[in-house]
Amino acid sequence: LNIKVDIMIKILVLGSNGMVGTSILNSFSNENKFKIIPSTRKDTNLFIFSETEKLINETKPDILINAAAKVGGIVANNEQRTQFLIENLRINTNILESCIPFKNIKIINLGSSCIYPLNAENPISEDEFMNGKLEPTNSPYAMAKLTAIELGNAMKEQYGHKVINLMPTNLYGPNDNFSEHDSHVIPGLMFRMEIAKNNNIDSFNIWGSGKPLREFLHVDDLSNAIKFIINNEIEDSILNVGSGDEVSIKSIAENIKQVIQYKGVLSFDTSKPDGNPRKLLNSSKMLNYGWKSEIQLFEGLESTYKWFQENIKIN
C-alpha cells in the first residue's frame, strides 16, 4: 500500500512586518504546500546572536527569506552611516552564522542594487559584483550587504549551503516608509506632495534637475520573483530583479502629481545634486528563467497611494 504524504515546506520570513516581508506573506497566503513562519523584532532581536540562533534552532525552516534590514533614503543613509553599517552587519552575520549547522536550509538573502559600483556600465549585470568603488552616500549600507553575499558564498564553498542573493532595483509599494526626510524617492515625494496639496501650496520643490533615470519595481513583483525562484528551484548565487523600465525623476514626480491630483507647479532646484545620472539593472537572467514584472508603474503608484491614504496620518 503506497500512501502519498505531502510534506509542507517551512518558510521562515525574517522582517515579516516590513514592506517586503508583508508582501511576501501576502504572496504565499493561498499556497497550500508552504507553511509560512513570520518573524519580527517582537519575537526575535536579530541584533543578538543567541536569540537569532534560538529562532533558527526551534523553527528549523526548509527555506529562510531574509527581508530584515535597516533601510532608508539617501539622507538617512548619509547621516546615519555608522548605524546603517553596524546594524545591517549584525542582522546579516547573526542570521547566516546561525544557519551554519543547517546546510539543508535554502537561504534567500535580499540585497540591493546599491552593492554595484558607482561607475558600473548600464544596464548593470551581476558580473559587476565587487568590481569597483561604491556610491559614497550609501556605501556603509552597501558594504553590509556585500559582506552578507561574501559570507553566504563562503558558507556555500566551505559547508555546501544554498544561498541565493537577490538584488532588487528601487522598490516601492504599500507598507513603505512614508516620511519627509527618511524616505526613498517615491514615498518621499508622495508624502511631501500630499502635504502640499492639503495646505494648498502652489509650488512643489524637488532636488535636482529631474533628468536622472531610475528603474522602479513594485514590491509585489519582487515577492512573485521570490516565489518563482522557490517553485523553479533556481540556485544562482546573485540574481538581479528589476522591471527593465527606466523613468526620469521628473516623470515620476508628474505621475505622482496626477495620482494625488495635486494642482500646483513642480519646481526643480538645479542647485542641488542630481546623483547618479542613470541606474538600470540587467535582469536578463531572471527574464530568461521565465519571470517578468507585471505591475505597471502608474497602476502601482495608484495602489500605493490608496494604501498611503488609508494608513498614514499626516499631522
The 10s digit of each residue's pLDDT in 233-262 is 999 999 999 999 999 999 999 999 999 999
pLDDT in the model for residue 6: 60
Q: Is 287 exposed, middle or buried (0-12, 13-18, 19+ CB in 10 A)?
A: middle
* Mean pLDDT over each residue of the chain, to the nearest integer: 94
pLDDT in the model for residue 183: 82
pLDDT in the model for residue 3: 53
pLDDT in the model for residue 194: 97
pLDDT in the model for residue 38: 98
**Measured CA distances, 285 to 111, 145, 178, 277, 293 (Å):** 16, 21, 32, 24, 13
What's the average model confidence in pLDDT over 278-289?
96
pLDDT in the model for residue 212: 93
Q: How far apart are CA 109 and CA 234, in angstroms?
A: 13
In the predicted structure, residue 178 carries a pLDDT above the cut 90: yes
pLDDT in the model for residue 105: 97
pLDDT in tens, 113-138: 999 999 999 999 999 999 999 988 88
The question of whether 289 is a catalytic residue gets the answer no
pLDDT in the model for residue 18: 95
In the predicted structure, residue 1 carries a pLDDT above the cut 70: no
What's the average model confidence in pLDDT over 6-25?
94
Q: Which of 141, 172, 262, 305 is catalytic?
A: 141
pTM of the model: 0.94
The radius of gyration of the chain's CA atoms, rounded to the nearest angstrom, is 20
pLDDT in the model for residue 180: 83
Location of C-alpha cell 528549523:
60
In the predicted structure, residue 190 carries a pLDDT above the cut 90: yes
Q: How confident is the model at residue 276 (pLDDT cuts 50, 70, 90)?
A: confident
Opening angle at CA 188, ends 184 and 189, nearest 5: 120
